[in-house]
């Protein structure tokens, strides 16, 4: 089998037939109850948040989602979260802390919404507040990159005790096209940029950015396998005291300074 190039990996992460977050949540959990709104400005469907049971365990789920149709993608800004989205995630984080429930974060985004309106609404502050709240959560948290994990838009949810990535995924500081545009003023150099960015799951694991590469989830059986792995990892994290868990989480991210 021919080894994929980095840019072929990028294209695989962007595939429109990847499992959607709604289907993934349905396959992993029961008793799903969705939350809406950031309690400040409104609601935005680019981010999903809610309560559910994972193998009988109560969990809080947050996720950045793309659409499966053009209309859904337009409504969800093609998976680019706005400040409302990050405030909704922060609201869910705080609820998890109050309830003492672990958090599962699911990520598929090319990056935060780049519109001027988002800047006027405090995009940077919203991401920073979301990230700080996530890093300080006293409950276990696992982040899973389902497709694209782009820039600070993904990092706000990729702040768990562990970060996993699907086999067909990427995680990077910005898109290869953006990297190529900044360095060479030519977005067509994206394949060259992708090769330099070390954004594939294999490279991310070697560099300690993620803990686990997860086989692609496409079927109900795949969901059951992932559910078993998540349940076991949450149980291991739950055995640590909040103080020890936070110390380990802070040490995990401090190494990337």
Kindly indicate the confidence band of residue 144, based on its pLDDT and cuts at 50, 70 and 90: very high
pLDDT at 2: 60
1 found inside a domain:
no
Structural domain boundaries enclosing 190: 6-250
pLDDT at 1: 45
pLDDT at residue 253 tops 90: yes
pLDDT in tens, 19-60: 999 999 999 999 999 999 888 888 888 899 999 999 999 999
pLDDT in tens, 202-211: 999 999 999 9
Report CA 222 to chain centroid distance, whole Å. 19
255 found inside a domain:
no
pLDDT in tens, 229-241: 999 999 999 999 9
Q: What is the CATH number of the domain that holds 14?
A: 3.90.226.10
Contact indicator for 12, 20 with CB cutoff of 8 Å: no
Distance, in Å, from the CA atom of 44 to the CA atom of 187, rounded to the nearest integer, reads 30
pLDDT at residue 18 tops 50: yes
List of residues 6+ apart from 41 with CB closer than 8 A: 83, 84, 87, 121
pLDDT at 4: 87
257 found inside a domain:
no
158 found inside a domain:
yes
pTM of the model: 0.94
Report CA dihedral (134, 6, 187, 21) to the nearest 10 degrees: -40
Angle at 230 between CA 67 and CA 29, to 5 degrees: 55
Higher pLDDT, 68 or 169: 169
- Stretch 167-180: mean pLDDT, rounded? 94
- Stretch 160-189: mean pLDDT, rounded? 95
100 found inside a domain:
yes
Higher pLDDT, 256 or 91: 91
Contact indicator for 171, 203 with CB cutoff of 8 Å: no
* Out of 69-78, 170-179, 197-206, least confident range: 69-78
pLDDT at 40: 85
- H/E element, 178: helix 176-184
pLDDT at 77: 87
pLDDT at residue 5 tops 50: yes
244 found inside a domain:
yes
Write down the mean pLDDT value for the chain. Answer: 93
77 found inside a domain:
yes
Strand pairing class (47-54; 141-150):
unpaired
The total number of structural domains in the chain stands at 1
199 found inside a domain:
yes
């Amino acid at each position: 089998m021919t080894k994929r190039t980095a840019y072929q990996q990028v294209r695989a992460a962007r595939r429109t037939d990847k499992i959607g977050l709604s289907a993934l949540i349905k396959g992993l959990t029961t008793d799903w109850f969705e939350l809406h709104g950031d309690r400040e400005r409104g609601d935005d469907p680019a981010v999903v948040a809610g309560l559910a049971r994972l193998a009988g365990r109560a969990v809080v789920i947050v996720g950045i989602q793309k659409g499966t149709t053009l209309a859904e993608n337009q409504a969800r800004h093609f998976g680019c979260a706005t400040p409302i989205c990050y405030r909704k995630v922060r609201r869910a984080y705080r609820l998890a802390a109050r309830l003492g429930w672990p958090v599962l974060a699911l990520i598929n985004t090319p990056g935060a919404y780049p519109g001027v309106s988002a800047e006027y609404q405090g995009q940077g502050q919203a991401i920073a507040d979301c990230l700080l709240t996530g890093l300080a959560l006293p409950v276990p948290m696992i982040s899973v990159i389902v497709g694209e994990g782009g820039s600070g838009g993904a990092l706000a949810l990729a702040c768990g005790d562990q970060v996993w990535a699907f086999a067909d995924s990427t995680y990077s500081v910005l898109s290869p096209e953006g990297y190529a545009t900044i360095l060479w003023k030519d977005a067509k150099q994206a394949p060259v940029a992708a090769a330099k960015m070390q954004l594939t799951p294999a490279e991310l694991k070697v560099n300690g950015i993620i803990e686990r590469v997860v086989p692609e989830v496409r079927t109900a059986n795949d969901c059951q396998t992932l559910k078993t792995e998540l349940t076991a990892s949450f149980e291991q994290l739950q055995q640590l005291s909040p103080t020890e868990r936070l110390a380990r989480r802070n040490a995990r991210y401090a190494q990337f300074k």
